[in-house]
Chain A
Amino acid sequence: MPCELRDAERVVYCAIVTTTLSTTQPQHDVHTELAHAGVYRVVVLNDPVNLMSYVVLVFKKVFGFDEQTARKHMLEVHEQGRSVVWVGLREKAEAYAFTLHGWHLTAIVEPDEKN
């Protein structure tokens, strides 16, 4: 995964990778391990019901996005039907999906094919 990550959470993920790589393990083993752990993305799907202002608020609350980032993701959901709002390890992706369900947004977790 490149380190020009899109948000703070991905920076955290990058830090984890860096720490792992700094151990004495050969790099290919580390990559195998990360592949097993898997990189997943949280995708929010469009629904015709929830207000745009509500979706923006939820993104700010759940992910700590600023207004501009939250609006960008909301518009992606609205116009393209989906937006990848977070990428990282599966356990945390599932936790985010659970939280989004608690706000009644439709969120799925799927493998990040780029990683």
Chain B
Amino acid sequence: MTATTIEAPRSPSRPVKRRGVNWEKWGWIYMRASGIVLIVLIFGHLFFNLMLGDGISAIDFGFVGGKLADPFWQWWDVAMLWLALIHGGNGMRTLINDYATLPMTRGVLKSAVLAAVVVLIVLGTLVVFTFDPCPPGQPADLLPALCAAR
């Protein structure tokens, strides 16, 4: 006698997932991947700003202006900005899912988080790539001292 073949007792009542991108899964993977990259980016950022050279006393308008003139630091900062804001935004989304029970509250809070993330990413990216410490045609008394050297 061989083992009897028995039909599956029932099909799942929850419809098996539609095809397409599984956001929940990619969100979960993103949190881990971006977390690892952010550790490198943030500690690299802190080490360069606070430890190297004159350390914290070197930080002034000129220091930041100088960094943002260098494409390396521009991309470093933009990567940090995008990864951290999406990481934080996604984390807030899961918190809202955990704590807000009414669909209305959920919707409002998640829209607010999304808006904040989008605005900050757009503004931040704009500033990093277009920042000019010495805008031309401005009165000299409004400009930092380093512009006089130009």
Q: Are A and B part of the same complex?
A: no
B: residues with CB less than 8 A from A are none
* Chain A interface (Cβ < 8 Å from any Cβ of B): none
